[in-house]
Structure 1
């Protein structure tokens, strides 16, 4: 192995050409809580509860601006929020199975509901948001079990051509893993797949885990969380790191990331792998975009437009 490249300390400016909203996303973030040791169940529960509590007020402010009808459903062994945004056409058959982010340990329950409402608002589509089980109480494969259960339940009332599967960050891991497992179990795959800056390599082997470390203001290595989630399983297993799976036959896929995203390599490598397997895949990169992207900004609206165009094409706008 080569010696690598030593980069001297330097300041990386926030580009002046970004919108004011986007520039705020690139401000340094507060100090992150230290990770507990992998075997400290109580410590991890306290960690997740503390981070979720810190996020919740902001998320409630967002949800106050969203208008949707929400029902909580049991979908097989999984819990989902069935969300219909205000103004959605009653006869529209298409539906999005949305898998929330949160490092495979955060954003369940109420936060899952709010994040699903956000997806419904941005797309104008009915959404099933999967409130999957998470560590420390429920490590792998509980989350993937819940996602496959929700997908099976959705297939009972919808043809695969009516379904889009979407996941961001940790949800992107589970969305891609869902494709592999559904195919392995003989289920038809959906009409389209959305992977927003997906956490699809739990080994963190990509170049941007080094080049964007400290540059992405809101994300650091999640290796301790990855090990907690895997619960002793091999991190290279495709159900844990879908980047290493056989993606032959995947549905049309749209992938999004940004040049400052810690998961830039994940997204770029997955795009190239899909293209090599002759999957119709498109990659959209936001200049200076961090892992969160730029929600609520003109730059974020451009990505939303691309995603909605993709959804309409994949569903035939049913």
Structure 2
């Protein structure tokens, strides 16, 4: 089954869903999308950056393709594949969040997968459009598989970062770069037109207002790097997709596209699975730490990644033997 439904929510799920629906959704609906309103959102990441630091990992500041990156690695002994890494692209509707807000999820993925995670601070609105965000994500991937020498790179992202991960898959195929080893999507945005798509609704979503997405969509075309290629990740050729695992909240606005992608990939033989959790909120593994559903989502994701790496490594070994 490519779609796995988890319909026994923990007790903590109900107050979390109701709280975000009652408090966060109205705040997002009213937040102004003028220049001062969007520029002020950077404070969210700055505030979260000074919070408690995740344990069990070490962090290092660096750059990839000229963009700031936080490299997070497990601090203890590891059996990790030294030629494998995760490229993480944070969410936030291309306008908010960054390294600080997503340090926790990047750290948990690093520990669970026993891999280095490169978390990228790509350029965002209001100064930069989605084309520029895509260029930063693709540039980081290009450097990892090029001069950094990683043979097996997993691309991961939540919400808007999921769209950027999909564009990395598209760019890798177009540029003849090594295909990503796996794609991790956490409530991924897969269609830039979701805010204006008449087949989509946010009525059951805990906090994403479709009206605000509609307003944001008008700003996505800002430069300086022009947007190129598909605006819908599912339109990327099926054969270009690596093994794919997606985590969603049941009923959230972005879930139909995620389920549709997994089903279409499964039909053509790509290893793909979606885990849908009831009574959760959009991108819940990013927002919570000890929440049972978050722990389970990280666990199933890590198991999927481990399997994808084993299969990719076996394929690389066979290729090296033939070349020798």
TM-score when normalising by structure 1? 0.80
For the pair 1:286 / 2:287, whether they are aligned, the reply is no
Residue 4 (structure 2) aligns with: none
Distance of aligned partners of 1:66 and 1:260 in 2 relative to their CA distance in 1, 3 Å threshold: farther
Contact 1:180 1:247 in 2 (8 A): no
Distance of aligned partners of 1:17 and 1:190 in 2 relative to their CA distance in 1, 3 Å threshold: closer
Contact 1:197 1:266 in 2 (8 A): no
Residue 319 (structure 2) aligns with: none
The count of aligned residue pairs is 290
Partner of residue 75 from structure 1, selected from 64, 67, 81: 64
Structure 2 unmatched ranges of 5 or more: 1-6, 314-324
For the pair 1:87 / 2:82, whether they are aligned, the reply is no
Residue 96 (structure 2) aligns with: 106
Partner of residue 130 from structure 1, selected from 101, 120, 124: 120
TM-score when normalising by structure 2? 0.79
Structure 1 unmatched ranges of 5 or more: 1-15
Offset from partner CA, 1:261-318 (integer Å, 9 cap, x none): 1211121111123224432211111123321336332222222111010111111297
Per-residue deviation at 1:256?
1.6
Per-residue deviation at 1:238?
4.7
Q: What is the alpha-carbon distance in structure 2 between the residues aligned to residue 281 and residue 206 of structure 1?
A: 27
What is the RMSD of the two structures over their aligned residues, measured on CA atoms? 2.8
Q: What is the alpha-carbon distance in structure 2 between the residues aligned to residue 137 and residue 158 of structure 1?
A: 32
| Higher RCO structure (Cα 8 Å, ≥6 apart) | 2
Residue 311 (structure 1) aligns with: 305
What does residue range 1-318 of structure 1 map to in structure 2 within 5 Å? 18-27=9-18, 28-30=21-23, 31-33=26-28, 34=30, 36=32, 40=34, 42-43=35-36, 46-50=37-41, 52-54=42-44, 57=47, 60-61=50-51, 63-89=52-78, 92-93=81-82, 94-113=84-103, 115-155=105-145, 156-160=147-151, 162-204=152-194, 205=197, 207=199, 209-210=200-201, 213-221=202-210, 222-231=213-222, 238-293=229-284, 295=288, 296-316=290-310
Contact 1:257 1:291 in 2 (8 A): yes
SS of 2:144 mapped into structure 1: helix
Q: What is the alpha-carbon distance in structure 1 between the residues aligned to residue 198 and residue 189 of structure 2?
A: 11
> Which is further off, 97-106 or 73-82?
73-82
